[in-house]
Structure 1
Amino acid sequence: MSAVMVEEGMKGAPLLSVRGVETFYGKIQALRGIDIDVYEGEIVTMIGANGAGKSTLMMTICGNPQARNGQVIYRGEDITRLPTHTIMAKSIAQSPEGRRIFGRMTVMENLQMGALLQDEAYFDDDLRQVFELFPRLRERQGQRGGTLSGGEQQMLAIGRALMSRPRLLLLDEPSLGLAPLIVKQIFDAIRELNQSQGLTVFLVEQNAFHALRLAHRGYVMVNGAITMSGTGRELLAREEVRSAYLEGGAH
C-alpha cells in the first residue's frame, strides 16, 4: 500500500486505539500508560527486548488479561472489558507467540478451525489465498500440524488467522526461533497481504530490523512503557534504536 493511501486512511479515526492502558499480573505492573494508534491499511510494529511487555499488550488488546486502567477502542467501540471470544468475533484475528496450532489436527483441519465463524461461501477462495501465500501448506495439507517444521507451523498459524477474514491481524513474534530465510518469507507474506488487500497489521516483534523495514510506523517499548515512536524509517535511523536493537541484527 502506498504511503499516500496510508496517509489518507490516517485522516479518520484509528481502527485500533489504546489509551492509558495499565495491565497488572497480581501486584506487578506490566504495562504503564500505553498509548498507541493503528489506522486502517497500516502495518504498525511494536519492538522491544524480551520481557518489555510487548506480548502483554497484545494479550490485553485481546482481553486476557484485561487492562486495569485505560481503554482499548476498536472501530470506535470500547472493547476493554469484553471477553476474549467476543473481541475475536469482531473481525480481529491473532497469530499468538509460540504459534499454538492444533498439533494433532492436520493442516487442513487447522485452517478449517480458523474459518469456523465465517460464511462457508468464502472458504474455497480464502483457502486458495492461503495456499498461494504459503505453497508449503498446500503440500502439507494432510499432515498433522505437530509434525511440521517451526517455519511451517508459523505459516499455518498465520494462515489459520487469515481464514477468519480479519480486518485487523495481530501478529505476536512471528519470526521467533526461525531461520533467516523463513523469516524473510514470513515478512514478505505480511507485506503482500497489506499491499494487495489493504489488510491492517499490528506486529509485535523482537527482530527490529525486519519489523521496522516492513512497518509504516513503529513504537519502542521498554519496561512496559513507550519510549519512542515514528515511521519505520525514522526509527531505523535513530542511534538509540540501532545500538539497542540492531547491532548484529541486520540479517
Structure 2
Amino acid sequence: MIGNGQSTRDASAPLLSIRGVETYYGKIVALRGVDIDVNPGEIVTLIGANGAGKSTLMMTICGDPQARNGTITYDGVDITRMATHEIIRRKIAQSPEGRRIFPRMSVLENLQMGAITADLDHFDEDLERVFALFPVLKSRQSQRGGTLSGGEQQMLAIARALMGRPRLLLLDEPSLGLAPLIVKQIFEVIGELNRNEGLTVFLVEQNAYHALKLAHRGYVMVNGAITMSGTGKELLAREEVRAAYLEGGRH
C-alpha cells in the first residue's frame, strides 16, 4: 500500500482476494483457511448449508469480526485489520442477512443513509437509478421501512447499498424467506447490474440453484472451509452439489 492509501492493484489481479482466512468466535473456529478470489466484473457466489460460515465470511470481509489469521486484499490494499468504516469508504457495500434496514426511518431516509459514503452531487441521479431498478420503492418513499413487506425490505436493503456507488456489492442471503416471484425479480436485478454496469458482486446464498445459474463462478463451503470451486455451470452439474443443495437434483 502506498503512503497516500491509493491502490497498487495489477489490472489483471482479483478485486477481492481472500487467503488463508481464519475467524474465531472465542475459541470456536468459524472459518478454516478460506481462499476465495472475486475478479472485477464477476458475480461470484458462495453456497453452503445454514451454519456453514458463509455470513461469518461476509462480516469478516467488512472487519467485524476481524480475521485472526490470513489476509483480505481489496483493490490491491490489505484491509484485514481495517475498521469497518474504513473498509466501507473504499466502495464496498453490503446488503446484510436479515436486511437490517432502519425500520423507523422512511424509505427515502434509508436511502439517504446508504449515500453517506458517496458524492452527494449525484444523489438525485442515484435515487432515480434505484427507483428504476425497484419501482415499488418510489411509490413508498415516505413510508416507514418497517411497514414494508419482506420482499420490499430486501429491495430497500439492496437499493441502500447501491446508493453508496460501490465497486463491490456484498449480498448476504438476498432470497431468504421470500416468495419465489420476488426471488426471481431480485436475481434479475443483480444480473442486470452486472451486465449493464459491470458491477462486481459477491453473493452468499442458500438458494444454490438460483445463485449458481446467475454466477460466473462459485465456491462451496462446509464447516467453515471451502470444499469445491468452479464455474456456476460446473458446480450445478456436480452430482454432490445437486444431492446436497438442489433437493436431489430435481431442479
Q: TM-score of the superposition, structure 2-length normalised?
A: 0.94
2:226 match: 226
1:250 offset after TM fit, Å? 6.5
1:124 offset after TM fit, Å? 1.0
AA aligned to 1:65 is P
- Post-superposition Cα deviations, 1:123-160, rounded to whole Å, max 9, x if no partner, equal 11111110010011011111000000000000000000
- Post-superposition Cα deviations, 1:84-121, rounded to whole Å, max 9, x if no partner, equal 11101100000000000000000011001111122221
Q: Check whether the contact 1:40–1:200 (CA below 8 A) recurs between aligned residues.
A: yes
Task: Map 1:71-86 onto structure 2 (within 5 A).
Answer: 71-86=71-86
CA distance in 2, matches of 1:90, 1:245: 34
CA distance in 2, matches of 1:194, 1:250: 28
AA aligned to 1:17 is S
Q: Check whether the contact 2:242–2:249 (CA below 8 A) recurs between aligned residues.
A: no
Q: Check whether the contact 1:207–1:249 (CA below 8 A) recurs between aligned residues.
A: no
1:142 match: 142
Q: Which runs of 5+ in 1 are unaligned?
A: 1-9
CA distance in 2, matches of 1:248, 1:158: 31
1:69 offset after TM fit, Å? 0.3
Q: Check whether the contact 2:219–2:226 (CA below 8 A) recurs between aligned residues.
A: yes
2:243 aligned counterpart, secondary structure: helix
1:248 offset after TM fit, Å? 6.6
Change beyond 3 A, Cα 1:75–1:182: same
> Following superposition, which runs of at least 4 residues in structure 1 exceed 2 angstroms of deviation?
248-251
1:60 match: 60
1:205 match: 205
AA aligned to 1:197 is E
Aligned length: 242
CA distance in 1, matches of 2:153, 2:161: 12
1:249 offset after TM fit, Å? 8.1
Q: Check whether the contact 1:209–1:250 (CA below 8 A) recurs between aligned residues.
A: no
1:192 match: 192
Aligned-pair identity in percent equals 78
CA distance in 2, matches of 1:125, 1:233: 36
Q: Check whether the contact 1:46–1:218 (CA below 8 A) recurs between aligned residues.
A: yes
1:21 aligned counterpart, secondary structure: strand
1:4 match: none
Q: Check whether the contact 1:63–1:82 (CA below 8 A) recurs between aligned residues.
A: yes
1:17 match: 17
Q: Check whether the contact 1:93–1:168 (CA below 8 A) recurs between aligned residues.
A: yes
- CA RMSD, aligned part only? 1.3
2:241 match: 241
1:115 match: 115
Change beyond 3 A, Cα 1:221–1:70: same
